[in-house]
Structure 1
């Protein structure tokens, strides 16, 4: 940060000085031109024969050339004196006027500075709301207000994210502490009760660990740091994800159909595997008994595409976009264990980190189709 000085070359001062230099320079140039024109025009004696004399109004007789020289000197002296005084007066008025006009024009900039200095967690709603002429300053003020809108939205989202993450972590920790306190306070606790407590604590710790892993995965995806770039097929992660969820799929009797064509991309294998895993886990978790899951991959319009669809409860299309926000769960979970609410957020972050897109469509009768599109390996 630059140290503040009492006397500093502010923009207002520099513009005022520039205006003063231009005014004095223009006045001096006009004065010089008038001087030269006067010297060039006041030469009536040049056309008279040598030795010609003139009689002045007071009766004095002078040679024509001497009279011309005297007249020119007097005219130039008065021109210089009066012209210099006029240039000085115009310069003073121009400088004061420029100082006032520039100050008024730069007032929104002071508003920008004052607003920026006051910005904080409690004042993110402040705006400049410039109502002056539609010029560059107005454009700057509007751009600053738009930036504040984006910062305010990001700040609000961050606060909501931190609050949700804290709540999600507090729940399993509270469960563990409650189980331990209740069990240890029982003087007649037996081995069976201790085992039951251990199972509850283990499940809660696994849930907390899964949430921390998801948060780290989301941070890594959004940060886009340390990403590997390896050739792979977008559909390969689907097989591993289906294998990992096979027991759950069998338990709730879900019919799975796949059509996995080549979808070559270049990306981070662990992130893209997590992308496919999250889509499959969501398709199982938000399904119903005897439901269906269908998965396809292939090439479409210069992009490698992966589509995962599932049956399940009905989702309003207007709510689909919100499902990609952290800790947003669509409706009630029918079949799977409670998730962290970060699955689709990680999917979106991974897609953006690889230059791709993700979209979802709510299906009539229940369920949803999520489509991933990443640049083909040949185009990266």
Structure 2
């Protein structure tokens, strides 16, 4: 036999409600029938006692003999009544021999009820006839229980039918009620699933709902916020990868194309191979840096590094690049107190590199890097002698996709500075624009110790 499985909460709640209702209705049905049977039994006994009392009014005792008054028009004894003195029958009612024997068996008894066997549906009652303080005779009366049994049977069938109807009604009502109660939940679930794929910015908002649905809506909104944040993170990561990997990848492609176009001297080929290897290492470092940033955003260990060593590496990497643009890079060595920062060296490089790239594109002749103590941390200050950050709102330089340009048409990619700020903030630092000593731009990179 296959086991029925309830797959939905709606089905389980419906079955539970019906089971509870069925148990309660069953208990009430049994209790009702027991009370009805007891009430009918009490009524039958009362009628027999009343009939015996009525019959006793026609019975008299004279000189020790029990007699029945002559009352031909009296209907009292027209029923099934027997009068005995001892075992002697004084008054006999009509009836079959079995009934007569059962009545005779009660002679001499007092206050005794007896139901005839074999489904006769007749009950007998023996009442005493007393004289001088002792029992001198017995009155036996009979009552048909057919009407009582029919009432009991009819009530039993009706109560069972009513119980079945009630259980069915509970089933239907529970099914409909739970279905209506869960309809908003199912609708919200479908909407959340659809929005998470197609419209991640939509929310259920603060629409008036019952408390439980309000809590569910807030939970779904929080879930959708996380989904949207994850999508934004993926999009941002894709853009950052494209931005950061474009330069070393372009360098590799250019070197390979030059190697394929013409024969080059051995020393030039060696330089090309070295440039390709360095670009590949830079790409690997970029990927590791983005992973380090992800770890920092997740609250993992940010590591530590020597700030002089990190700045020296930056100078070795960027000084030739800026020099090709006609810009000289000057790096002031940090003081001893600023020797270490609480950030990985690669993360420091990825934070400072976009700032240097931006300064190198806008500077006229010089970019300088200095370090100062600030608010319990270290600030790396990058100054250039260019036209400064254009526009009324310098903070727009940190918005992804915003490309600021000076009067000469220098344009950025729109992703380097936002990445630098995000990496710095992930490491509990920051990148900000401040007023410099001249007309050029000043970017301040704050890092924790």
Q: TM-score category by the smaller chain?
A: 0.5 to 0.7
Distance (Å, rounded) in 2 between the aligned partners of 1:279 and 1:163: 16
TM-score (norm 1): 0.62
Distance (Å, rounded) in 2 between the aligned partners of 1:28 and 1:273: 77
Asked if the contact 1:253–1:291 (Cα under 8 Å) also holds between the matched residues in 2, the reply is yes
Which of the numbers 396, 413, 421 marks the counterpart of 1:319? 396
Asked if the contact 2:33–2:152 (Cα under 8 Å) also holds between the matched residues in 1, the reply is yes
Question: Deviation digits for residues 224-246 of structure 1, max 9, x if unmatched?
Answer: 79x8898x6xxx62222233456
Which of the numbers 414, 424, 434 marks the counterpart of 1:363? 434
Asked if the contact 1:38–1:76 (Cα under 8 Å) also holds between the matched residues in 2, the reply is yes
In the alignment, which residue of structure 1 is the partner of 2:381?
A: 309
Which of the numbers 227, 231, 251 marks the counterpart of 1:152? 231
Find the residue that maps to 1:51 and give its secondary structure: helix
Alpha-carbon shift at residue 156 of structure 1 (Å): 3.1
Distance (Å, rounded) in 2 between the aligned partners of 1:205 and 1:252: 26
Alpha-carbon shift at residue 272 of structure 1 (Å): 2.2
In the alignment, which residue of structure 2 is the partner of 1:83?
A: 159
Alpha-carbon shift at residue 357 of structure 1 (Å): 1.8
In the alignment, which residue of structure 1 is the partner of 2:100?
A: none
TM-score (norm 2): 0.54
In the alignment, which residue of structure 2 is the partner of 1:183?
A: 262
Asked if the contact 1:42–1:68 (Cα under 8 Å) also holds between the matched residues in 2, the reply is no
Distance (Å, rounded) in 2 between the aligned partners of 1:168 and 1:8: 60
Distance (Å, rounded) in 2 between the aligned partners of 1:16 and 1:149: 36
Distance (Å, rounded) in 1 between the aligned partners of 2:222 and 2:249: 40
Which of the numbers 286, 307, 315 marks the counterpart of 1:214? 286
Distance (Å, rounded) in 2 between the aligned partners of 1:361 and 1:143: 30
Q: Give yes or no for the alignment of 1:372 onto 2:447.
A: yes
Q: CA 1:331 to 1:205, structure 2 compared with 1: closer, same or farther past 3 Å?
A: farther
| Aligned-CA RMSD value | 5.4
Structure 1 segments unaligned to the other structure (5+ residues): 375-380
Distance (Å, rounded) in 2 between the aligned partners of 1:37 and 1:219: 79
Asked if the contact 2:315–2:331 (Cα under 8 Å) also holds between the matched residues in 1, the reply is no
Distance (Å, rounded) in 1 between the aligned partners of 2:219 and 2:149: 56
Q: CA 1:22 to 1:169, structure 2 compared with 1: closer, same or farther past 3 Å?
A: farther
Asked if the contact 1:218–1:345 (Cα under 8 Å) also holds between the matched residues in 2, the reply is no
Q: Which has the higher contact order (CA 8 A, sep 6+)?
A: 1
Question: Deviation digits for residues 110-149 of structure 1, max 9, x if unmatched?
Answer: 8847985x899xx544799779955446456545544543
Q: CA 1:159 to 1:69, structure 2 compared with 1: closer, same or farther past 3 Å?
A: farther
Higher strand share: 2
Distance (Å, rounded) in 1 between the aligned partners of 2:292 and 2:284: 12
Choose 1 or 2 for highest CA Rg: 2
Structure 2 segments unaligned to the other structure (5+ residues): 55-77, 81-122, 126-140
Alignment of 1:171-250 (within 5 A): 171-184=250-263, 191=265, 195=267, 199=271, 202-203=274-275, 205-222=277-294, 237-245=306-314, 248=319
Q: Give yes or no for the alignment of 1:24 onto 2:100.
A: no
Q: CA 1:256 to 1:80, structure 2 compared with 1: closer, same or farther past 3 Å?
A: farther
Alpha-carbon shift at residue 15 of structure 1 (Å): 2.2
In the alignment, which residue of structure 2 is the partner of 1:9?
A: 6
Distance (Å, rounded) in 1 between the aligned partners of 2:381 and 2:142: 109
Alignment of 1:3-152 (within 5 A): 8-11=5-8, 12-35=10-33, 38=36, 51-53=49-51, 76-106=152-182, 108-109=185-186, 112=189, 124-125=198-199, 134=210, 135-136=212-213, 138=217, 141-142=220-221, 145-152=224-231
Distance (Å, rounded) in 2 between the aligned partners of 1:213 and 1:145: 33
Alpha-carbon shift at residue 175 of structure 1 (Å): 0.7
